[in-house]
Structure 1
Amino acid sequence: MTRPDALTQTTATPHGAVIRLFGVIFIMLGTLNTMLSWRGGFELLSLPVFMIAGGLILCLIGVIIRQSSA
């Protein structure tokens, strides 16, 4: 029979992983939107640029949280 605390230790996600995942998603969406605008010949809007910058900031926050919890 397994102990409840041993079960939670194996299934727990590392601290900051969800924040980094959202950051990576924002970076990918911003990059894809930028490439689509570029390929279509449209002007570059500020939304994809802010999505990429926000994604980088979220990734940085996730890394800092992971380093502080270790």
Structure 2
Amino acid sequence: MLSKENQHLLKVIAEQQPRSVTELASLIGRAVSNVSRTQKGMKVFGIANLISSGYVKTKKSN
């Protein structure tokens, strides 16, 4: 289960479509290093993936 902070992070990604981890960190008021670490963890689980044009949500394939 995602923490409330990480649920908020995903909501901001969906609604604001930030183009970088730095922009996302600014939008949610968290340190860039913290957001980067969270994003990497989500990528491992197939929750969210940052690409050069911005964030793309991905579904975990079984």
* TM-score, normalization by structure 1: 0.29
Looking at both structures, which has the greater relative contact order when contacts are Cα pairs under 8 Å and sequence separation is at least 6?
1
Of the two, which has the highest radius of gyration? 1
Larger proportion of strand: 2
* TM-score, normalization by structure 2: 0.32
